[in-house]
Amino acid sequence: MTRLTLSTYPNMLGFEQLERLLERASKNGNEGYPPFNIEQTSETSFRITLALAGFAEEDLSITVEDKQLVVKGRQKEVDGRRIFLHRGIAARQFQRSFVLAEGVDVGQAVMENGLLHIDLTQSIPETVVQKIKIRRA
């Protein structure tokens, strides 16, 4: 079976970076932990909310690199004197990544009641019409 790429379409020029972003997003091995929501809070803003029971602010790292938002978590070792009869609250480390579109900026991050909220804003570019002058050879 032939794999379709954006370069397959001759009238789609300069979309190689978009193709790389889509490929990176599809390879994202997030495997469902931690669970998250993405909500639209206005026409130009969004909020990502991750459920992080048991994590403190100092256990988390949020970075943006190459248009990718990465949230990492690693809890400190549990006191060795504690004996769990059942341990149903996940305490494993994680890395959750989100690929950001051009013009999306990361705002503030707030931890509240075991939920990490990360606000995003999107600037909508103005439509520009450019007239190209034709000159004689």
Q: Where are the domains of the chain?
A: 9-78+86-122
Reduced to 3 states (helix: H, G, I; strand: E, B; else coil), residue 24 is helix
Q: Nearest-5° angle of CA 76, CA 78, CA 84?
A: 150
Long-range contacts of 51-59 (CB under 8 A, 24+ apart): 51/114, 51/115, 52/111, 52/114, 52/115, 52/116, 53/89, 53/90, 53/114, 54/89, 54/90, 54/91, 54/114, 55/114, 55/116, 56/111, 57/111
pLDDT tens, position by position, 46-92? 999 999 988 999 999 999 998 899 999 998 876 778 888 998 877 78
Within 17-114, strands assigned E span 36-42, 45-51, 60-65, 68-73, 94-99, 104-112
Structure confidence at residue 115 as a pLDDT band (50, 70, 90): very high
Looking at domain 9-78+86-122, which CATH architecture does it have? Sandwich (2.60)
On the question of pLDDT at 99 being above 80, the answer is yes
Q: What is the pLDDT of residue 28?
A: 60
- Quick check: 27 and 40 in contact, CB under 8 A? no
Q: What is the pLDDT of residue 95?
A: 94
pLDDT tens, position by position, 17-34? 777 767 766 666 556 889
Structure confidence at residue 134 as a pLDDT band (50, 70, 90): very high
